[in-house]
Chain A
């Protein structure tokens, strides 16, 4: 009974927050509502028994996206100091019908999904049955790397393509602007970084390792590592730069390249494409993907071609 009330309350607040996030009285309120929506969403995923998604939502939604929007808001004020309030675009007349139509669509699909009975031949059941023979304990990792590895490969490619197109439209003078939002020598920031940065690295490696048996995996670990990089960029420890860095570009590519190479290798032995040779391959690809995902997200956040350590003083 209380469980039902809890679920209904979470659903109601999700809808309310989503409306406020896109329809709030000002951009800043929209940002706050969006951040809060991310937190409520991770509660909802937790209630739905999906800790993997709750974790990704917590790292991306609550950590990185909120900061990204805050930075964008600041740029907006800088670019058009007089137009802060007029930045809300007038609502289109089509907005209400489209919203209603998509609401109905979601409702119909949801009702159909609730009433459908699980078929015995479903893929999900087959995955759970075959999982034991693969040596992996986490069905999510199993699906991502063994059963639907091709999707994951394409996702990594899309992430890289997103970075390339973002860099193609970034203006040169934007690169010279600083992301740093506070004087780097503010007393408490050094202490915060000294504790949080090692801890994020530790947690992301833990998530990577735990990913094969329980909640975690390359995406979550990469997102946590990226949040750590964002923290360093915001506090002025990392600065964007235009210099070509072979190490950084190698890191961007290592996930995709190692996935492709290990995926192609079975062809030499007459086995099907992307039949991964064992659990070590899963670990190897996940580690490489974690590095690439983290670097891509940090570079996307900074809108930069490369990063360098900022010299103090």
Chain B
């Protein structure tokens, strides 16, 4: 396996790790605001790592440019969606879960 391939494999696997963390966060976090963090942050980091890994693997500037565009638009879309969903949940009167005071 060439060094390029090993570098990209490491990046891709790291991306998968972030996706796994995002899914676990979506399933385990206590309320909708926390789950938003899990998705908007972890998944977009995962997408970034996968994009970089694939760009290294393809070794082509044109492909790298498209991947960069995908990642940046994805970041924008996730930001706006997370903002809108949080606004909707807030408007519906959802209170964020707070740690209990006796601990």
Contacts and interface: CB of A to CB of B under 8 A. Distances in A.
A243 interface: no
Interface in B65-80: 73, 76-77, 79-80
A192 interface: yes
21 contacts: A182-B84, A186-B83, A186-B84, A186-B87, A187-B83, A188-B79, A188-B80, A188-B83, A188-B84, A189-B80, A191-B76, A191-B80, A192-B76, A192-B77, A192-B80, A195-B73, A195-B76, A196-B73, A196-B76, A196-B77, A199-B73
Contacts of A189: 80
Interface of B: 73, 76-77, 79-80, 83-84, 87
Nearest to A189: B80
Give the interface SS of chain A, mostly helix, strand, loop or mixed: helix
- A interface residue count range (under 10 / 10 to 19 / 20 to 34 / 35 or more): 10 to 19
A182 B83 CA distance: 12
B84 to A, nearest CB: 7
Contacts of B77: 192, 196
A182 B79 CA distance: 16
Contacts of B83: 186-188
A80 B86 CA distance: 27
A42 B73 CA distance: 19
Q: Which 4 residue pairs across A and B have the least CB separation, nearest first?
A: A192-B80, A188-B80, A188-B83, A195-B76
A196 B80 CA distance: 12
A187 B80 CA distance: 9
Interface string A165-188: 000000000000000001000111
Contacts of A188: 79-80, 83-84
B79 to A, nearest CB: 7
A189 B81 CA distance: 10
Interface string A196-233: 10010000000000000000000000000000000000
Contacts of A192: 76-77, 80
Nearest to A195: B76
A189 B87 CA distance: 13
A47 to B, nearest CB: 18
A191 B83 CA distance: 13
Nearest to B69: A199
Contacts of A195: 73, 76
Contacts of B76: 191-192, 195-196
B68 to A, nearest CB: 13
Contacts of B87: 186
